[in-house]
Structure 1
Amino acid sequence: MTPIKTYLLSLFLLIGFGIPLNSEPLSETNQKAIDAFYQKNWVQAEMWFKESLKKNPNDPYANYNLACVYTIHLSQCENLTEEQDIFQLLQNAVTYKKTYKSLMLKDKDLSLLRNTYRFNEIAGLNPKEIFTNIIWYGPSPGAYGSIAEIKFDSNGSFELSLVEFRESDGTLEKPKYRGKYQWISEKVIQLEFQKLPSSLPNQTKKRQARWNKNILEIDGFDYHFQDTPDRCSA
């Protein structure tokens, strides 16, 4: 068999068996950690990734995957650490391995945090990209989740969804209100609603919104919007 045929056969076998090409060898502790991770043994995975970070605090693989472990726990309302600690792990990971920026935007293990300002900032998105990448949530006082959500599209449109109860029979409804927006400055947006919720005392369709990272305030609303819902509310 010619050398080129031998190479192509080897390449085919590697791809066929799912072996990553040009993969970096894992340290012993990282290998033990990822084995535990795939077995969903989160306690062991956390322990071994921490061992890796004791040896090398800048290890991007251990930083990134420990962030995944903590995010999975957070999605189950088990807070092993604070969100800010997870973001710091991700920041460490992308600092020492830039390719993690694109990976984190599609990694299902991190999906819980994908809507947050800080997550998108770490992934390298610019402010306006982040603004339209986020669903903005109102307060969550009970079992029905956020009483309001607003999403801005990059084409200059937005959609506000509310949680309301019909007066006649108490049926839960989620009416939607659409409109257009434009940037007045880096942190100020002009909104123009096509139609406003009747619950708003002021029916002025044009109103301003002020945005500061993870907080959005809209004139006429007696609450502010943020980049995360109260995930574990009753």
Structure 2
Amino acid sequence: MTPIRTYLLTIFLLIGFGIPLIAEPLSVTNRKAIDAFYQKNWSQAKMWFKESLKKNPNDPYANYNLACVYTILLSQCENLTEEQDVFQLLQQAVTYKKTYKSLMLKDKDLSLLHNTYRFNEIAGLSPKELFTNIIWFGPSPGAYGPISEIKFDANGSFELSLVAFRESDGTLEKPKYRGKYQWISEQVIQLEFQKLPSSLPHQTKKRQARWNKDKLEIEGFDYQFQDTPDRCSA
């Protein structure tokens, strides 16, 4: 969410230091929307931001903050819209106000999407920065969420976690497997595990992975990893 209170404080500080400032006034509908937002009245906030966009579809403030409202609702499993709709709003916002690119990366109201491919692409990150910002998830067949998860760090290391049940008593565990990786090409990564899950049919520590936007395939896994879990499957 655009921090309007911080924005106003910044105005006062700049004025106090004698720095000239041209404030960007909010429309009536945007003011009503932001008031509703601070009251956590999401339906009213959504309505007024949409009214703003009827008058000006390119309004970066309304596009950005409507994306925030929708993301909050998605985090509550209120599927009133799709992630792709949120990304379209964010793309429109950064097209007409470039400073939103840096803001969106640290905006807590958008935290649900921070580790997705499209979000980081809109924020303007380079491919390798983008790749290490993503958390990759395996499928979610039941109530326990994704059966696997892998995260790559910028320092060339990675960590894979799996959902497993202890044979003795059925206790849910999440064993972790670490290793190093290096780039072979823009879409191919060489992984080297320190230790492999015993469930993999071939215990070869070096494996290639292929990355294509929001999908990741790793040799030896019979499924694709993707950049979002099935959050509301349970």
Corresponding residue for 2:211?
211
CA distance in 2: counterparts of 1:146 and 1:51, whole angstroms = 38
Q: Could you tell me how far 1:79 is from its partner in structure 2?
A: 1.3
The CA deviation string for residues 70-102 of structure 1, in whole angstroms up to 9 with x for no partner, is 111101111111111110000000000000001
Query: In structure 1, what is the equivalent of residue 25 of structure 2?
Result: 25
C-alpha distance after superposition, 1:109-147 (max 9, x if no partner): 111111110000000101111110111111111121111
Which residue in 2 is equivalent to 1:151?
A: 151
How much is the aligned-residue C-alpha RMSD, in angstroms?
Answer: 1.7
> Equivalent pairs: percent with the same residue?
88
Separation (CA, whole Å) in 1 of partners of 2:42 and 2:171: 42
| Distance in 1 of aligned mates of 2:34 and 2:23 | 15
2:16 equivalent in structure 1 = none
Aligned residues: 220
C-alpha distance in structure 1 between counterparts of 2:11 and 2:138, whole Å: 52
- What amino acid is the match of 2:129? E
SS in 2 for 1:105: helix
* Partner AA of 1:105 in structure 2: L
* Structure 1 CA distance for aligned equivalents of residues 143 and 131 of structure 2: 27
CA distance, structure 2, for counterparts of residue 80 and residue 96 of structure 1:
25
Q: Deviations over 1:202-225 (max 9, x none)?
A: 001111000000000000001111
Displacement of 1:162 in angstroms is 0.7
Distance in 1, matches of 2:107 and 2:176, equals 30
CA–CA separation in structure 2 for the residues paired with 1:57 and 1:115: 27
Return the alpha-carbon distance in structure 2 between the equivalents of residues 65 and 142 of structure 1: 33
Q: How does 1:5-20 map to 2 (within 5 A)?
A: 14-15=12-13
Q: Which amino acid aligns with 2:162?
A: L
Match of 1:4 in 2: none
Instruction: Give me the whole-angstrom Cα distance separating, in 1, the residues matched to 2:60 and 2:217.
Output: 36
* Pairing of 1:25-174 with structure 2 (within 5 A): 25-174=25-174
Instruction: Determine helix, strand or coil for the equivalent of 2:106.
Output: coil
Deviation at 1:12, TM superposition (A): 10
Q: Which runs of 5+ in 2 are unaligned?
A: 1-8, 14-20
Shift of 1:23: 3.7
Deviation at 1:103, TM superposition (A): 0.5
Separation in structure 1 between the aligned mates of residue 89 and residue 12 of structure 2, nearest angstrom = 32
Length-normalised TM-score, structure 2: 0.91
Task: State the secondary structure of the residue aligned to 2:94.
Answer: helix
Report how far residue 168 of structure 1 moved: 1.2
Q: CA deviation at 1:14?
A: 3.0
Matched to 1:88, the amino acid is Q
Deviation at 1:13, TM superposition (A): 10
Deviation at 1:41, TM superposition (A): 1.1
Give structure 1 regions of 4+ aligned residues with deviation exceeding 6 angstroms.
Answer: none
Report the counterpart of residue 197 of structure 1 in structure 2: 197
